[in-house]
Amino acid sequence: MSITKTTCLGAISLILSTTIVAAQDLDAMTAEELLPLAQAEGTVTVYSFTSRIGKVEAAFEAAYPGIDLQGFDISSTEQIARLSAEAQAGVTNADVVYVSDAPVVLEALLAPGIIAPYVPPRVTDRVPAEFQSPLLAQRLSTKVLMYNEEANPDGAPIDSLWDLTRDEWAGRVVMVDPLQRGDYLDLMTEIVLRSDEMAAAYEAEFGEAIDLDGAANAGEKFIMDLFANDVILVGSTDDVNAAVGGLGQDNPPVGFTSYSDRRDNEEESWALQVANDVAPAPGIIFPAVLALTAEPNNPAAARLVIDFLMGDETETGGPGLAPFYVAGDYVTRTDIPPHPDAVPLDDFTAWRVAPAETAKIRAEIGDLVLTLQ
Amino acid sequence: MADIAMSRQGRRVFFKQGTVLKIVVLLLLIALIVLPLIRTVLFTLRPDVIGAWGDVLSGRLSTNLFYKPLKNTMLIGVIVSTGCVLLGGFLAWLVVMTNVPYRRTIGVMATLPFMIPSFAAALAWGTLFRNDRVGGQIGWFQGLGFDVPDWLAWGMVPTLIVLTLHYFSLAFTIIAAALATVNSDLVEAAQIAGAKGRRILMGIILPVTTPALVAAGSLCFAGAVSNFATPALLGLPVRMQTLSTRLFGMIEVGQVGRGYVIGILLVIISGLFLWAGNRVVSGRRSYATITGKGGRAKRFDLRGARWPLFAVAMVFLLASTVVPVIVLLASSFAPSSANLFSGWTAHYWIGASNPSFAQGVPGIVYNADIVRALMVTLSLGLAVAFTGMIIGLLASYTTARYREGWASAAITQISFLPLLVPGIAFGAAYIAYLGAPIGPFPALYGTFALLVIASTAYLLPFSVQTGRAVIQQVGGELEESARLTGAGFLRRLGAITVPLAVRGLAAGGILIFVKIIRDLSLVVLLFTPTMPVLSVLAYRYASEGFGQFANAITVVILTISIVATLIANRLQAKSQPWLKD
The answer to whether the Cβ–Cβ distance between A235 and B60 falls below 8 Å is no
Write down the mean pLDDT value for chain A: 88
Task: Specify whether A223 is located in the same domain as A364.
Answer: yes
Question: Scanning every residue of chain A, which has its alpha carbon at the shortest distance from the alpha carbon of B65?
Answer: A370
Q: How confident is the model at residue B291 (pLDDT cuts 50, 70, 90)?
A: very low
Nearest C-alpha neighbor of B555 from the set B334, B360, B231: B334
Q: CA B464 to CA B470: how far, in whole Å? A: 10
Q: How confident is the model at residue B5 (pLDDT cuts 50, 70, 90)?
A: very low
User: What pLDDT does residue B452 have?
Assistant: 94
Query: Phi, psi at residue A96, to the nearest 5°?
Result: -120, 140
8 A C-beta contact, residue A220 and residue A368: yes
From chain A, the residues in CB contact with B64 under 8 A are 370-373
- DSSP, res B343: S
Judge whether B106 lies within some domain.
yes
- DSSP, res A337: P
Query: pLDDT tens, B399-454?
Result: 877 777 788 888 888 888 887 788 888 888 888 888 777 777 777 888 899 999 99
Q: CA B561 to CA B553: how far, in whole Å? A: 12
Task: Specify whether A134 is located in the same domain as A198.
Answer: no
The answer to whether the Cβ–Cβ distance between A85 and B530 falls below 8 Å is no
Judge whether B371 lies within some domain.
no
When CB atoms are compared, the residue of B64, B249, B545 closest to A239 is B545
Query: pLDDT tens, A114-168?
Result: 999 999 999 999 999 989 989 999 999 999 999 999 999 999 999 999 999 999 9
Average pLDDT over residues A352-371: 89
Is the model more confident about B340 or about A41?
A41
Q: CA A356 to CA A287: how far, in whole Å? A: 13
Query: pLDDT tens, B490-540?
Result: 888 788 877 777 777 888 888 889 889 988 888 888 888 778 899 988 888
Please report, for residues A53, B52, B378, the alpha-carbon distance to residue A80 in angstroms, rounded to integers and kept in the order given: 18, 20, 29
Q: CA B474 to CA B466: how far, in whole Å? A: 13
Q: How confident is the model at residue A70 (pLDDT cuts 50, 70, 90)?
A: confident
Q: CA B361 to CA B364: how far, in whole Å? A: 9
Judge whether B558 lies within some domain.
no
Helix, strand, coil abundance in chain A, percent, nearest 5: 50, 15, 35
Distance from CA of B53 to the nearest CA of A (A): 15
Q: CA B449 to CA A318: how far, in whole Å? A: 42
Query: Which amino acid does the sequence have at B327?
Result: V
The answer to whether the Cβ–Cβ distance between B253 and A108 falls below 8 Å is no
The answer to whether the Cβ–Cβ distance between B446 and A244 falls below 8 Å is no
Distance from CA of B580 to the nearest CA of A (A): 50
pLDDT at B255 over 70: yes
Please report, for residues A118, A143, A299, B351, the alpha-carbon distance to residue A306 in angstroms, rounded to integers and kept in the order given: 8, 24, 11, 30
Judge whether B475 lies within some domain.
no
Size of interface A-B (CB pairs under 8 A): 116
Is the CB of residue B544 less than 8 Å away from at least one CB of chain A? Answer: yes
Task: Specify whether A103 is located in the same domain as A190.
Answer: no
Please report, for residues B174, B214, B270, B410, the alpha-carbon distance to residue B417 in angstroms, rounded to integers and kept in the order given: 20, 19, 12, 10
Number of domains in chain A: 2
Residue A286, SS3? strand
Distance from CA of B263 to the nearest CA of A (A): 18
pTM: 0.81
When CB atoms are compared, the residue of A54, A179, A243 closest to B135 is A243
Helical (H) or strand (E) element with A284: strand A283-293
Query: Which amino acid does the sequence have at A207?
Result: G
Judge whether B418 lies within some domain.
no
Q: CA B516 to CA B423: how far, in whole Å? A: 11
Is the model more confident about A93 or about B80?
B80
Is the model more confident about B32 or about B297?
B32
Q: CA B59 to CA A9: how far, in whole Å? A: 55
Query: Which amino acid does the sequence have at B433?
Result: Y
User: What pLDDT does residue B486 have?
Assistant: 82
Is the CB of residue B133 less than 8 Å away from at least one CB of chain A? Answer: yes
Classify the phi-psi angles of B18: left when phi > 0, otherwise alpha if psi is within -120 to 50, otherwise beta: left
Residue B546, SS3? coil
The answer to whether the Cβ–Cβ distance between A236 and B63 falls below 8 Å is no
Q: What is the CATH number of the domain that holds A61?
A: 3.40.190.10
Query: pLDDT tens, A207-246?
Result: 999 999 888 899 999 999 999 998 988 877 888 888 898 8
Question: Which B-chain residues 53-112 have CB contacts (< 8 A) with chain A?
Answer: 60-61, 63-65
The answer to whether the Cβ–Cβ distance between B353 and A54 falls below 8 Å is yes
Nearest C-alpha neighbor of A288 from the set A255, A313, A310: A310
Judge whether B184 lies within some domain.
yes
Q: How confident is the model at residue B281 (pLDDT cuts 50, 70, 90)?
A: low
Task: Specify whether A40 is located in the same domain as A183.
Answer: no
User: What pLDDT does residue A356 have?
Assistant: 84
Q: Which of A367, A368, A369 to mutate to test the interface with B (most CBs of B within 10 A)?
A: A367
From chain A, the residues in CB contact with B237 under 8 A are 233-235
* Cis amide linkage into residue B422, ω under 30° from 0: no
Question: Scanning every residue of chain B, which has its alpha carbon at the shortest distance from the alpha carbon of A367?
Answer: B61
Is the CB of residue B359 less than 8 Å away from at least one CB of chain A? Answer: yes
The answer to whether the Cβ–Cβ distance between A179 and B443 falls below 8 Å is no
Question: Scanning every residue of chain B, which has its alpha carbon at the shortest distance from the alpha carbon of A240?
Answer: B135
When CB atoms are compared, the residue of A90, A179, A234 closest to B253 is A179
Domain of residue A182, residue span: 141-285+350-372
Query: pLDDT tens, B32-87?
Result: 999 999 988 998 998 988 988 998 898 888 988 999 999 999 999 999 999 999 99
Distance from CA of B115 to the nearest CA of A (A): 28
∠ CA(B326), CA(B332), CA(B333), 5° rounding? 100
> Which residues touch B78 (CB under 8 Å, ≥6 apart)?
B221
Query: pLDDT tens, A249-276?
Result: 888 899 999 998 888 888 778 899 999 9
Straight-line distance from the first to the last Cα atom of chain B, in angstroms, rounded to the nearest whole number: 56
8 A C-beta contact, residue A265 and residue A245: yes
Question: Scanning every residue of chain A, which has its alpha carbon at the shortest distance from the alpha carbon of B542?
Answer: A235
Helical (H) or strand (E) element with A322: none
Q: What is the CATH number of the domain that holds B116?
A: 1.10.3720.10
Among positive and negative, which fits the CA dihedral B329, B330, B334, B339? negative
Q: Which of B132, B133, B134 to mutate to test the interface with A (most CBs of A within 10 A)?
A: B134
Up-side HSE of residue B546: CA atoms within 13 Å toward CB? Answer: 23
When CB atoms are compared, the residue of A88, A267, A372 closest to B436 is A88
User: What pLDDT does residue B150 have?
Assistant: 86
From chain B, the residues in CB contact with A146 under 8 A are none
Helical (H) or strand (E) element with A210: none
Distance from CA of B110 to the nearest CA of A (A): 35
Is the CB of residue B443 less than 8 Å away from at least one CB of chain A? Answer: yes
Q: CA A225 to CA B484: how far, in whole Å? A: 82
From chain B, the residues in CB contact with A70 under 8 A are 530
Distance from CA of B248 to the nearest CA of A (A): 11
The answer to whether the Cβ–Cβ distance between A180 and B65 falls below 8 Å is no
8 A C-beta contact, residue A309 and residue A321: yes
User: What pLDDT does residue B134 have?
Assistant: 67
Task: Specify whether A278 is located in the same domain as A292.
Answer: no
Judge whether B174 lies within some domain.
yes
Question: Scanning every residue of chain A, which has its alpha carbon at the shortest distance from the alpha carbon of B532?
Answer: A72
The answer to whether the Cβ–Cβ distance between B249 and A180 falls below 8 Å is yes
User: What pLDDT does residue B432 have?
Assistant: 81
When CB atoms are compared, the residue of A80, A174, A371 closest to B60 is A371
Nearest C-alpha neighbor of A355 from the set A105, A97, A46, A112: A105
Is the CB of residue B439 less than 8 Å away from at least one CB of chain A? Answer: no
Judge whether B514 lies within some domain.
no
Task: Specify whether A224 is located in the same domain as A254.
Answer: yes
8 A C-beta contact, residue B365 and residue B2: no
Helical (H) or strand (E) element with B331: helix B322-331
From chain A, the residues in CB contact with B441 under 8 A are none
Domain of residue B152, residue span: 75-239+284-290+306-331
User: What pLDDT does residue A213 have?
Assistant: 85
Q: Which of B253, B356, B544, B549 to mutate to test the interface with A (most CBs of A within 10 A)?
A: B253
Query: pLDDT tens, B183-213?
Result: 777 777 888 888 877 888 788 888 888 888 8
Up-side HSE of residue B450: CA atoms within 13 Å toward CB? Answer: 32
Please report, for residues A118, B254, B274, the alpha-carbon distance to residue B91 in angstroms, rounded to integers and kept in the order given: 65, 45, 23
Ranges A337-346, A349-358, B295-304, B367-376: which has the least confidence: B295-304
Is the CB of residue B315 less than 8 Å away from at least one CB of chain A? Answer: no
Number of alpha helices (DSSP H) and beta strands (DSSP E) in chain A: 13, 12
Is the CB of residue B480 less than 8 Å away from at least one CB of chain A? Answer: no
Distance from CA of A122 to the nearest CA of B (A): 31
> Which residues touch A61 (CB under 8 Å, ≥6 apart)?
A67, A68, A69
Task: Specify whether A150 is located in the same domain as A272.
Answer: yes
User: What pLDDT does residue B296 have?
Assistant: 56
The Cβ of residue B108 has, within 10 Å, a number of other Cβ atoms equal to 16
Q: CA B355 to CA A263: how far, in whole Å? A: 13
Query: pLDDT tens, B91-106?
Result: 999 998 888 999 988 9
Please give the share of chain B, as a percent, with pLDDT higher than 70: 90
Task: Specify whether A206 is located in the same domain as A325.
Answer: no
The answer to whether the Cβ–Cβ distance between A233 and B237 falls below 8 Å is yes
A4-8, B15-19, B492-496: which is most confident: B492-496
User: What pLDDT does residue B135 have?
Assistant: 62
* Cis amide linkage into residue A134, ω under 30° from 0: yes
User: What pLDDT does residue B251 have?
Assistant: 80
Write down the mean pLDDT value for chain B: 82
Q: Give one DSSP letter per residue of A160-200, joined into a string.
A: BGGGGGSGGGTT-EEEE-TTT-HHHHHHHHHHHHTHHHHHH
Please give the share of chain B, as a percent, with pLDDT higher than 90: 23
Number of alpha helices (DSSP H) and beta strands (DSSP E) in chain B: 32, 0
Number of domains in chain B: 1
- DSSP, res B64: I
Distance from CA of A224 to the nearest CA of B (A): 14
Is the CB of residue B132 less than 8 Å away from at least one CB of chain A? Answer: yes
Among positive and negative, which fits the CA dihedral A35, A38, A39, A45? negative
8 A C-beta contact, residue B266 and residue B226: yes
Q: CA A46 to CA A57: how far, in whole Å? A: 9
8 A C-beta contact, residue A102 and residue A287: yes
Task: Specify whether A359 is located in the same domain as A295.
Answer: no
